[in-house]
Chains A and B, each alone.
Chain A
Amino acid sequence: MELTPTPSPTPAPNPQRGKQYDFIGKRYIASAVSAILMIASVVLFFVQKPNWGIDFTGGTELLLQFEQPIEIGELRDALGQIGLSDDSVQQVNDPGMNEFSVRVQEAGFGTEETQAKVLGALKQSYGEQWVVNSRFDAQVGALLVVEHQPPAVSTTTVQEVLDAAGVEGVEVRANQDENTFEVVMPGVSKAVERSISQALGGQKFKVLSVDSVGPKVGASLQQAAVISILATLGLVLLYVAFRFDLSFAPGAVIALFHDVIITMGIFVLLQREINVSFIGALLTIIGYSLNDTIVIYDRIRENMQRYRRSDLAGLINDSVNDTLGRTLSTAFTTLLAISAFLFMGGPVIENFALAMLIGIVVGAYSTVYVASPFILIMESVKPSLLKLFTPAATGVSTDSVSGGAP
């Protein structure tokens, strides 16, 4: 797919250009700023702790819509009564919509009472000693596993016993072990719904959506998130190394890493929820910011082939300036498209749009101030790196690497 650039009719070292900005000259200031922002992000991550969504922690989240206006404080108090913390409720959308999200991370929430009822009913029917062992399994549809004394009983019979004792909403099913059965409890969402409507007494609300994630799934999603980000960065490293030059690749990846860390840091600072769609946004930011970087790299590659490379810093600065119009225009159009979602896309998409917005700004900055100057660093350490790997080779010049001298 390599195209031979049309030879420029006026191969002046510096073609006629518009206003020039000295980006590369400010690279030390820029690196200091980036380093501080990245360190601050990492520190925030560990000190302030991210607001993990249930995708990663496991738990249940309900989106409620009240018929009558209700103060968030009132709802918070009601949730406090049933043992939920202050930060478990959030207003979403316009205040006028009376929409709130309620998050419960404890998988067994609201089932303690049912558990006690089940065990009570069993003991009453079969005797105190009948239940040998019981344990609670924190699945989404919480499970109570009961091991009992022989003989084996059919699940239908146990179901009848529990129904007769007035334990509502549970289902008995078989277990592979002998003399063991499982009681499937009503989901957390039902328990939360019931508790809220009791605590609020009469306030009517609708449940718009319910998300429940089991703790195991949460852990695996978290792992997958980290792997997918690292995998993307690895693939980018390879692509840039092959399509461009080895000395280009680290800069691109470090710039992307920079974008991911800082976007994450800002989200932690704002205490915005970090969930699967946020990870989706991060991956998209990687794609977008890379897009930006590649356009500048393409120009640097072209200019390297066209002009003498005695002044690499100048050449990179020229390339950044050449593409500046495009960098700003594209960042602007993408921001236009995303802002529309941020302000009027609705609550579901708002977080995603915000992450994208931050990412686009940080990405445009990192392309100019991180990815491009990094080539300079790589090119300067390259001779010594090459020497390190091929001790016999002497006098490796920087020019020998790209081989594109005119």
Chain B
Amino acid sequence: MSGSWWFRFAVVVLSLLGSAWVLAPNFITTPEGQEPTGVAALLPNTALNKGLDIVGGLDITLQVGVDEAVLSSVGRDVQTVRDAAEREGIVLTSARKARGEALLELQIGPETTIEALRAFLSARFPGYSYVGSIEGETGEWHRFEPTDQERTEISQRAVEQAVETLRSRIDATGVKEPNIVRKGADQINIQLPGEVDPDVARQLIGTTAVLEFYLVDEEFQMAALDQALVAAKAALPEAEYNDDRTLNEWLIENGRVPGDNRVMWEYETTAGVKARTTPYVLKDRVILTGDDVNDAATSMDQYNQPETILEFKPGGAVIFGDVTGENIGKRFAIVLDGEVRSAPVIRDRIAGGRASISMGSGNIDLAMADARMLAMVLRTGALPAPLNIAEERTVGPQLGADAIVAAINATLIGSALVVLYMFIRYRVSGLVANICLSLNVLTGLAALGLLGATLTLPGICGIALTVGMAVDANIIIYERIREELAIGKQITAALVSGYDNAFSAVIDSNLTTAIAGVVLYSYGTGPIKGFAVTLLIGIASTLFTAIFVSRTLMDLAVRRVSARALL
């Protein structure tokens, strides 16, 4: 045996041992919660990931409502534009988002020209472009819409933020080893292994709570407010009076309430009907929002009612401390989804950055559930856009367990038949091919473990298919050697030219199969992706075993057995 042969042989043995080492964690397992001891502690962290179709679980694809994200982004920009305009001397008499459309609608005072407005927007809000002006009841509205680039950015941010939010929400539910990934431009795929209640999905995507803190304008007289509301009730149709937006517009336009104020209500639900109770005149500037909340939890207040306790982020806590310090004796209002939840009097500077929201009296279970939901939403942040379930697949653990047994049996029997056939047809060479086949499957599985790829049910089928196709490379070579023998070559020479001549066929046939595998990988989802992975890995391990390993072993065999026995 030449030195190069020994070297090749060493590579073969090392790949065998390496694969065994990588695969060992699948057999030597440590019970959950215990520290691995002995051999187990030395093993690499390369146990095979089993797909949801094997362990059972929930696979959901969520569609992110990116259009809605753009809408709400425009809605948020209304206030920002208003503030910036004030600083830059642009007089905006009114600013709003068009109903149901991603359009910013602005009205300007006589001091400001449309050119100045456009210049201001293109300088400070380059994400908007001017689309034209329309006549409204209260004058001309100048309309601006987000540019395509801006829309794309908003959508992307929305999807990324949704992924993060979902991740924290899932962590909060305690599901182990979740897998959350973006899929395409506007979808998110979530995989939750194990026995998962499908309703979890609905909990995850539910509720976008909008929490805002305002200061109450204590200078505004309650009597004046009462008069203003009486006048508004008389002047406005009932529907418009009941709508906070139209009511506020009327109050401001008619000089009943200053332009930088806003009236909001506390509500009460009796017998399922919710009605306004106390009105508040608030300074129309949001002090803090739900985004400033760091952590939230539920507890009981002094009246034994559920409440949500929140803790601000450091930045928010500073603002909260400053604002409360400057406004001792006044009230601040906690507004959730447009309703005043409570308006406590500021007794002292609140430095700790904590606040609580009472859930009110009534059904205590419902209130508790509300408090919990609010705490979760505040803790994890609101979803930037509504999510809808586009695809949902549940596999019960029993189905997966039955299926994997069937799949493994099928693989074993299929492989056994192939091994038998190869031995009958090619004798000693067939034996070599079978050794290669075993090493092929072993290195293939080890590669799966090393890459952290997921083994799915079709993936196991892919392994079986690899077994069937891997011997193809051996068959091509053996048939070629037989041909070379048939034209009168000596066995050693036939071996050399057989391998050489078959090389291009083996490479080309495997690379073209890989083309299909790569497309399959990018097309498929979940289980099918798993199949593509095992197919591709199988091709790589086949090239290694059929060309390198089998050649090494054949070089050995050719010296030990006669040509007749060899092939």
Contacts and interface: CB of A to CB of B under 8 A. Distances in A.
Interface of A: 1-3, 5-6, 8-10, 15-17, 63, 125-126, 137, 139-141, 143, 149-157, 160-161, 163-165, 171, 173-179, 182, 184, 187, 189, 206-214, 216-217, 224-225, 228, 231-232, 235-236, 239-240, 243, 276-277, 279-280, 283-284, 286-288, 290-292, 294-295, 297-299, 302, 322-323, 325-326, 329-330, 332-341, 343-346, 348-349, 352-353, 356
Contacts of A283: 516, 519-520, 523
Interface stretch (B103-111, B224-232, B241-249, B293-301): B241-249
A326 B489 CA distance: 20
Contact of B471 (A178, A214, A330): A330
B504 A1 contact: yes
A217 B402 contact: no
Interface residues on B, range: 35 or more
B467 interface: yes
A349 B405 CA distance: 12
A214 B269 contact: no
Contact of B523 (A143, A225, A299): A225
Contact of A160 (B75, B210, B272, B487): B272
Interface string B490-519: 000000110011011101111111111101
Contact of A280 (B99, B398, B531): B531
B178 interface: no
A216 B184 CA distance: 14
A209 B99 contact: no
A154 B267 contact: yes
Given A157-B269, A291-B513, A176 B389 contact: no
Contacts of A224: 523
B392 A210 contact: yes
A148 to B, nearest CB: 10
A346 B509 CA distance: 30
Contacts of B395: 208-209
B71 interface: yes
Main secondary structure of the interface of A (DSSP, over half): helix
Contacts of B391: 140, 212-214, 217
Interface stretch (B134-142, B166-174, B416-424, B555-563): B416-424
Contact of A140 (B53, B392, B422): B392
Interface stretch (B3-11, B31-39, B213-221, B335-343): B335-343
B479 A323 contact: yes
Nearest to B425: A329
B272 A139 contact: no
B63 interface: yes
B206 A216 contact: no
Main secondary structure of the interface of B (DSSP, over half): helix
23 contacts: A1-B504, A6-B500, A125-B273, A151-B242, A151-B244, A164-B271, A176-B65, A208-B398, A211-B394, A214-B389, A276-B525, A284-B516, A287-B513, A288-B513, A291-B472, A334-B465, A336-B418, A337-B417, A337-B464, A338-B468, A341-B464, A343-B410, A344-B410
Given A152-B244, A154-B338, A208-B398, A294 B523 contact: no
A150 B242 contact: yes
A345 B500 contact: no
Interface of B: 53, 61, 63, 65, 68, 71-72, 75, 99-100, 198, 201-202, 206-208, 210, 239-240, 242-246, 267, 269, 271-274, 276, 336-339, 363, 366, 370, 386, 388-396, 398-399, 402-403, 406-407, 409-411, 413-415, 417-418, 421-422, 425, 457-458, 461, 464-465, 467-469, 471-472, 475-476, 479, 482-483, 486-489, 496-497, 500-501, 503-505, 507-517, 519-520, 522-525, 527-528, 531-532, 535
B501 A330 contact: no
Nearest to A153: B274
Contact of B512 (A284, A291, A326, A329): A291
Nearest to B274: A157
A385 B331 CA distance: 88
A340 B464 contact: yes
B245 A295 contact: no
Given A228-B523, A280-B524, A290-B513, A140 B407 contact: no
A243 B508 contact: yes
B154 to A, nearest CB: 13
B469 A334 contact: yes
A15 B461 CA distance: 40
Contacts of A8: 487
A288 B240 CA distance: 69
A346 B475 contact: no
Nearest to A2: B504
Nearest to B362: A160
Contact of B71 (A171, A176, A182, A286): A176
A61 to B, nearest CB: 9
